[in-house]
Amino acid sequence: KVPYIVSRKSYTAVAINAASKAGEWIKSRLGTVEQLNTKHSPADLVTEVDKGAEQMIRRLILTHFPDHAILGEEGVEPGAEASARALEAAREEEYLWIIDPVDGTTNFVHSLPFYSVSIALAHRGEVIVGVIYDPSRDEMFVAEKGKGAYVHGNRMQASREETLGDSLVCIGFPPDRAFAQPLNMKIAQVLTPQVRGIRALGSAALHLAYVASGRLSAYCEIGLNAWDVAAGALLVQESGGMITDTLGRPYDLSVRHIAATNTAIHSQLIQVLKEADATGL
């Protein structure tokens, strides 16, 4: 295996190891899911693979850092309010691991190979390590605060487009029909005529990793949670990109409406969202 990164060995190495082990297992389960459960709505899926992967990651982290706190999607009651409460209760922990065991469960359930494992470590509310693993392509995206972002040991750089017209932009449609859905539809509608291309690939974490690696110019989505975004936010920042809320205010763990770009087109994107009244804020 490629030695993905070297510095701050303990935290980053544990995150990489956990993402890698969980990712391999998740991939081995592709196409085997028989028991499908729903959370809030018929579109909000959870499988034994989500739960099993989260357990595996928790165990690996606690083996090394038994006194660290962990916030994982599958350990929290579904729904925006419960998620916000869980984050509020945990965010001041000295060391808090924030995990999304399978980001892109819907894709996974349909055997569409675009999903990821997302693991972040926050120190008193500030993300210091972010790891996103794509088992389908064996791509390990790694960032450490102040030390850059890497994929397979190569430094990542956000893309160079300077106008929305030259940009490839991802959006998303989380199945929260009441609030987020109409706003995300509106974002699709206003951006489509202004950009080179619009995509929605179904994994928030991989969208952010792709902004960091320059494969996407930008990504925005309303109604995400801390575990979708924490690791990817650091990847974007450490690759020279920018991540804010949809009004352009600085990212922190409680931001749920996300705009992430290569920095150059950030203000243009925010402007479009504001003019369309599609910020959710």
How many residues form the binding site for Ca ion (CB under 5 A)?
Answer: 5
Question: What's the min distance (Å) between Cβ of 276 and Ca ion?
Answer: 25
Kind and range of the H or E run holding 132: strand 126-134
The CA–CA distances, whole Å, from 75 to 52, 56, 85, 100 equal 11, 13, 13, 10
Helix spans in the chain (H): 9-28, 48-64, 80-90, 105-109, 180-191, 204-212, 226-238, 266-275
Segment 50-109, which members bind Ca ion (CB under 5 A)? 73, 100, 102-103
Give yes or no for a contact between 108 and 30, defined as CB atoms under 8 angstroms apart.
yes
Is residue 48 at the binding interface for ligand 2AM, with CB under 6 A as the rule? no
Is residue 228 at the binding interface for Ca ion, with CB under 5 A as the rule? yes
The site map against ligand 2AM for 220-249 (x = CB under 6 A) is ---xxx--x---------------------
For residue 111, give the 3-state DSSP assignment. coil
Tell me the C-alpha distance between 213 and 139, whole Å: 11
SS3 content of the chain, % helix, strand, coil (to 5): 40, 25, 40
Segment 65-84, which members bind ligand 2AM (CB under 6 A)? 73
Is residue 134 at the binding interface for Ca ion, with CB under 5 A as the rule? no
Is residue 136 at the binding interface for ligand 2AM, with CB under 6 A as the rule? no
**Binder to ligand 2AM among 4, 11, 173, 251 (CB under 6 A)?**
173
Is residue 174 at the binding interface for ligand 2AM, with CB under 6 A as the rule? yes
Tell me the C-alpha distance between 199 and 167, whole Å: 11
Of ligand 2AM, Ca ion, none, which one sits near residue 40, judging by CB under 5 to 8 A according to partner kind? ligand 2AM
Of Ca ion, ligand 2AM, none, which one sits near residue 118, judging by CB under 5 to 8 A according to partner kind? none
Tell me the C-alpha distance between 275 and 281, whole Å: 13
Of Ca ion, ligand 2AM, none, which one sits near residue 202, judging by CB under 5 to 8 A according to partner kind? ligand 2AM
Residues in contact with ligand 2AM by CB under 6 A are 40, 44, 73, 100, 102-105, 172-176, 202-204, 223-225, 228
